[in-house]
Structure 1
């Protein structure tokens, strides 16, 4: 595994199959390197992240133990809990080790390891008292994060009971309790498409570099932004598109490229389907033929490497700010495309859903407008 280290004080790395940690010189005055005595396995990777988290916490309060024994002993002790008293972190390590052969690399990185790090931070680990675990989650995370955490904990407990790793444990917190709190409004509130005028101004700003601090800084993303507005594809589909996917009359979305907490991951399938064909109209054709050809990926930066979404976001924020347009995520390009297609009246919701790889139910629920925006026919 290659750890994506976002900390400025510590670094995890693998050497000769074992996980090591480095505490950087600027944090303590001396560079400290030590093997954690852990082989590079999934459960040990989560354990290493727990150790790193403890060290970072102590560094922030000037309570760092330079021997590192304090952190290693504390975390490794977690995995030695007797089966009849197994705690949350230990169960989760076992669960994701089992799920590894079924999960995609993206799921493993964005679910397995992310939740492992989150659960390791909890003081309440006893699965016999779920309300205490839930309360601590509420005190430290958003409501949506608590909901997702509880769903994952329940799945791990059900697996543990089935495999007879644990017994006499019952997760008593129903998912409906969270649904009542969240009111299922998050997705609806997040759909906020651009007007046609805003769309055109954004595209032009990227094309001309008019707000860039240096030439080529924004224009390197012009083709990607324009393509996004013309196809309504998902972020990973945009980043993963290669020239071999473009044929006469259509292109095929068949892979997703995304950045996770363990580095870049490419998956050769889409979110809800294996692949999706997208017809190329004249407008899209004109854009594609104007893009300089690269070796593999369609959208590359000014030095010829596949574009980075994090760098694109930086430019996106500046462009919208300079244009004095309300900030919206780049994903709103997808919502804008869907909304514009429906406005033309030339495509049914089912046809639009097929174009963008979602369900007709999602189109009807989120994109056809609230009742006040619907013209009632005279009968």
Structure 2
């Protein structure tokens, strides 16, 4: 409805008692979300066999308009998993909750899976789980870890009021019901029994790198000799060795300070 001060949005309800109107305010996005919430309330009453009271609906809208600033709520298709995931990622990235390496590895990977998933309706939870776990390229443990992030997004959306709360509860219960059995092969060794290289073996490896005795092309292995030697002598991580700066090296005291790292995350170099 157009007014001298701008557009005003209304919700019109038709029933046996006639047409009723509820004012939703001037913000289009907020009004649409209020309309969705009223629709859910009516559907809930209908499912439970209760009468729909217009005064109760007006009170619901009034309370939301008083407590929720405009444009806080986002329009969400309740059955669209991809939109829920995008909202979840956007919110947490805006809050700085994740490191960039985590986003470029775990979040990006799961986002790609969500986009490819042929089942986008939340009602198809069994099909979503089956699709995740049927991929032979992923181990069951990896598939469950991917599902954990998807469930976290659904649970977050339900707590934010973007979808009904029961979805978050149902998916959390589903996740807890999935048990991953890990079978250890007889040939697998316990971590406590792993045999590390002896000093003699380390020098043999270094000599092989230095002389390129196992390299098909000259220079292919020898270029890593000093790098591997340095990592072995200091015990530092590869990412720490790559990020090391001269300002953190004190030759007079034979002291090296490792305080930075540089890693390759999905083709992007991240320093931390």
Q: Same fold (TM over 0.5)?
A: yes
1:10-35 per-position Cα deviation (integer Å, ceiling 9, x unaligned): xxxxxxxxxxxxxxxxxxxxxxxxxx
1:179-219 per-position Cα deviation (integer Å, ceiling 9, x unaligned): x4237999956984543143222111112222233433212
CA contact (8 A) 1:143 1:182 kept: no
- After superposition, the Cα gap between the structure-2 partners of 1:230 and 1:177, relative to the gap in structure 1 and judged at 3 Å, is farther
Residue number in structure 1 paired with 2:85:
92
The Cα shift of 1:176 comes to 7.3
Larger RCO, structures 1/2 (Cα 8 Å, 6+ apart): 1
Q: How many Å separate the matches in 2 of 1:112 and 1:234?
A: 24
The Cα shift of 1:238 comes to 2.8
Coordinate RMSD, CA, aligned: 3.0
Q: Which runs of 5+ in 2 are unaligned?
A: 1-73
The Cα shift of 1:117 comes to 0.8
CA contact (8 A) 1:110 1:261 kept: yes
Matches within 5 A, 1:164-243: 164-167=161-164, 168-169=166-167, 170-171=170-171, 172-175=173-176, 177-178=178-179, 180-182=180-182, 192-196=194-198, 197-243=200-246
- Secondary structure of the residue that 2:256 maps to in structure 1? strand
| Aligned with residue 150 of structure 1, among 131, 147, 150 | 147
Residue number in structure 2 paired with 1:112:
107
Question: Which has the higher Rg, Structure 1 or Structure 2?
Answer: 2
The Cα shift of 1:256 comes to 1.7
- Secondary structure of the residue that 1:102 maps to in structure 2? coil
Q: How many Å separate the matches in 2 of 1:115 and 1:191?
A: 35
- After superposition, the Cα gap between the structure-2 partners of 1:175 and 1:231, relative to the gap in structure 1 and judged at 3 Å, is farther
TM-score, L = length of structure 2: 0.59
- After superposition, the Cα gap between the structure-2 partners of 1:135 and 1:240, relative to the gap in structure 1 and judged at 3 Å, is same
- After superposition, the Cα gap between the structure-2 partners of 1:138 and 1:240, relative to the gap in structure 1 and judged at 3 Å, is same
Q: How many Å separate the matches in 1 of 2:114 and 2:215?
A: 42
1:323-342 per-position Cα deviation (integer Å, ceiling 9, x unaligned): xxxxxxxxxxxxxxxxxxxx
